[in-house]
Amino acid sequence: MHALVERLYPLCRSITGDGVRATLAIVDEYIPLRMHEVPTGTEVLDWTVPREWNIRDAYIADATGRRVVDFAASSLHVLGYSVPVSATMPLAELRPHLHTLPGQPSLVPYRTSYWKPDWGFCLSQETLDAMPDGEYEVRIDSTLADGHLTYAEHVVPGQVAEEVIVSCHVCHPSLANDNLAGVAVAVFLARALAERTPHYTYRFLFAPGTIGAITWLARNAERIDRVEHGLVLACAGDRGSLTYKRSRRGDAEIDRVLRHVLETSGRPHRITEFTPYGYDERQFCSPGFDLGVGSLSRTPYAGYPEYHTSGDDPDFVCPTALEDTLAVCREAFSVLDRNRRYVNLSPYGEPQLGRRGLYDALGGRSDAKEAQMAMLWVLSLADGEHGLLDVAERSGLPFDTVAAAAGALHGAGLVKA
Residue list, annotated binding site: 172, 178, 308
Q: Which residues pair with 143 in a beta bridge?
A: 54
Q: Is 277 helix (H, G, I), strand (E, B) or coil?
A: coil
> Which amino acid, residue 67?
R
- Count of residues for the chain? 417
Q: Is 409 helix (H, G, I), strand (E, B) or coil?
A: helix
Q: Are 3 and 181 in contact (CB under 8 A)?
A: no
- Local structure of residue 297 (DSSP, 8 states): E
CA distance 228 to 77: 41
CA distance 108 to 74: 9
Strands 269-272 and 242-245: parallel
Burial 67-95, CB ≥16 within 10 A → b, else e = bbbbbeebbbbbbbbbeebeeeeebeebe
Cα distance between the two ends of the chain:
37
CA distance 333 to 194: 12
CA distance 290 to 253: 13
DSSP string, 245-271: EPPSSSS-HHHHHHHHHHHHHT--EEE
In the annotated binding site for Zn(2+), the residues are 172, 178, 308
Which stretches within 315-384 are classed as H helix?
319-338, 368-381
| Number of Cβ within a 10 Å radius of residue 17 | 26
Nearest one of 64, 60, 113 to 91, comparing CA atoms:
60
